[in-house]
Amino acid sequence: MTTTPQAARRASPRKRRPATPAAPDPAAGLLPETTPVRLLDPDGTLLPARADYPEPPVEALREMYRRMVVGRRFDAQATALTKQGRLAVYPSSRGQEACQIGGVLALRDDDWVFPTYRESMALTARGIDPVEVLTLLRGDWHCGYDPAQRRTAPQCTPLATQCVHAAGLAYGESYQGRDTVALVYIGDGATSEGDFHEGVNFAAVFKAPVVYFVQNNRYAISVPLSRQTAAPSLAYKGVGYGVPSEQVDGNDPVAVLAVLTRAVAHARAGKGPFLVEAHTYRMEPHTNADDATRYRDTDEVEAWRDRDPLARLETYLRGRGVLDDAAVAEIAEQAETYAADLRERMNTQPTVDPLSLFDHVYAEPTTQLVEQREQVRAELAAAAEEDA
Amino acid sequence: MATMTMAKALNAALADAMLDDERVLVFGEDVGQLGGVFRITDGLQARFGDKRCFDTPLAEAGIVGFAVGLAMSGLRPVVEMQFDAFAYPAFEQIASHVAKLRNRTRGALSVPMVIRVPYAGGIGGVEHHCDSSEAYYAHTPGLKVVTPATVDDAYSLLREAIDDPDPVVFMEPKKLYFAGAETALPTRTEPFGRAVVRRAGRDATLVAYGPAVPVALEAAEAARDEGWDLEVVDVRTIVPFDDATIAASVRRTGRCVVVQEAQGFAGVGAEIAARVQERCFHALHAPVLRVSGLDIPYPAPMLEHTHLPSVDRVLDAVARLQWDDQPDRRWLTEGSAA
Subunit contact B108:A149, Cβ cutoff 8 A: yes
- pLDDT at residue B181 greater than cutoff 80: yes
Query: Which residue intervals of chain B bear CATH 3.40.50.920?
Result: 196-330
- Please give the pLDDT value at position A1: 47
> What does each C-alpha distance from B232 to B6, B146, B180, B206 come to in angstroms?
20, 18, 20, 5
Q: CA B282, B285, B286 angle in degrees (round to 5)?
A: 115
In this complex, which of A167, A359, A367 lies closest to B66 when CB atoms are compared? A167
Partners of B103 on chain A (C-beta within 8 Å) are: 142, 360-361
Distance in Å, alpha carbon of A15 to nearest chain B alpha carbon: 48
| B128-152 average pLDDT score | 98
Instruction: Tell which B residues from 96 to 155 touch A, by Cβ distance under 8 Å.
Output: 96-97, 100-110, 141-142, 144
Contact criterion met (CB < 8 Å) for A171 and B70: yes
Count of CB pairs separated by less than 8 Å, A with B = 150
pLDDT band at A6 (very low <50, low <70, confident <90, very high): low
Please give the residue of chain A at the shortest CA–CA distance from B58.
Answer: A198
**Mean pLDDT over residues B173-194, rounded?**
96
Percent of chain A at pLDDT > 90 equals 92
What pLDDT shows up at residue B11? 98
On average, the pLDDT of chain A sits at 95
Q: Are B229 and B219 contacting, i.e. CB atoms less than 8 angstroms apart?
A: no
Does the CB of B82 have a partner CB in chain A at under 8 Å? Answer: no
Secondary structure of chain B as H, E, C letters = CEEEEHHHHHHHHHHHHHHHCCCEEEEECCCCCCCCCCCCCCCHHHHHCCCCEEECCCCHHHHHHHHHHHHHCCCEEEEECCCHHHHHHHHHHHHHHHCCHHHHCCCCCCCCCEEEEEECCCCCCCCCCCCCCHHHHHCCCCCEEECCCCHHHHHHHHHHHHHCCCCEEEEEEHHHCCCEEEECCCCCCCCCCCCEEEECCCCEEEEECCCHHHHHHHHHHHHHHCCCCEEEEECCEEECCCHHHHHHHHHHHCCEEEEEEEECCCCHHHHHHHHHHHHHHHHCCCCCEEEEECCCCCCCHHHHHHHCCCHHHHHHHHHCCCCCCCCCHHHHHHHHHC
pLDDT at B331: 64
pLDDT tens per residue, range A237-292: 999 999 999 999 999 999 999 999 999 999 999 999 999 999 999 999 999 999 99
Consecutive H or E run containing A212: strand A210-216
Could you read off the pLDDT of B44-53 as tens digits, one per residue?
999 999 999 9
pLDDT at B334 over 70: no
CATH of B196-330, one of 3.30.390.10, 1.20.1250.20, 3.40.50.920, 3.30.2310.20: 3.40.50.920
Residues of chain B in contact with residue A175, where contact means CB-CB under 8 angstroms, are: 51, 70, 73, 75
Percent of chain B with pLDDT over 90: 95
pLDDT band of A12, cuts 50, 70, 90: low
Q: Is A246 on the interface with B (CB under 8 A)?
A: no
Burial class (CB in 10 A: 0-12, 13-18, 19+), A240: middle
Interval B281-293: pLDDT, tens:
999 999 999 999 9
Pairing of strands B180-183, B2-5: antiparallel
Nearest CA in chain A to B76: A172
| Mean pLDDT, residues B115-138 | 97
pLDDT higher than 50, residue A10: yes
Report long-range pairs for B8-12 (Cβ below 8 Å, ≥24 apart).
Answer: B9/B151, B9/B152, B9/B154, B9/B155, B9/B183, B9/B185, B10/B40, B10/B154, B10/B155, B10/B158, B10/B172, B11/B39, B11/B40, B11/B41, B11/B42, B11/B43, B11/B44, B12/B155, B12/B185, B12/B186
Assess whether pLDDT exceeds 90 at residue B336.
no
From A33's Cα to the closest Cα of chain B, the distance in A is: 29
Please state the rounded mean pLDDT for residues A189-197.
97
Mean pLDDT of B14-22: 98
Q: Taking residues A184-212, what's their average pLDDT?
A: 98
Beta bridge partners of A224: A219
Q: Among A165, A205, A360, select the one facing B107 at the smallest CB separation.
A: A360
Query: B-contacting residues of A 150-169, CB under 8 Å?
Result: 153-154, 158, 161, 163-169
Alpha-carbon span A271 to A198, nearest angstrom: 19
ipTM over 0.90: yes
Tens digit of pLDDT for each residue in A141-174?
999 999 999 999 999 999 999 999 999 999 999 9
Look at residue A24 in the predicted model and tell me its pLDDT: 86
Q: Which of B59, B73, B110 sits opposite A176 (nearest CB)?
A: B73
Instruction: Decide: pTM greater than 0.90.
Output: yes
B59 in A contact zone (CB under 8 Å):
yes
The CATH topology of domain B2-183 is: Rossmann fold (3.40.50)
CATH 3.40.50.970 intervals, chain B:
2-183
- For residue A240, the distance in angstroms to the closest alpha carbon of chain B comes to 14
- By the CB < 8 Å criterion, does A72 face chain B? no
B143 interaction partners in chain A (CB closer than 8 Å): none
Average pLDDT over chain B, rounded to an integer: 96
pLDDT tens by residue, A22-76: 888 888 899 999 999 999 999 999 999 999 999 999 999 999 999 999 999 999 9
Q: Kindly tell me if the per-residue pLDDT of A80 is higher than 90.
A: yes
Q: Does A273 touch chain B (CB under 8 A)?
A: no
Task: List, by residue number, the catalytic residues of B.
Answer: 129
A370 interface with B at CB cutoff 8 Å: no
Q: Are residues B110 and A363, on separate chains, in Cβ contact within 8 Å?
A: yes
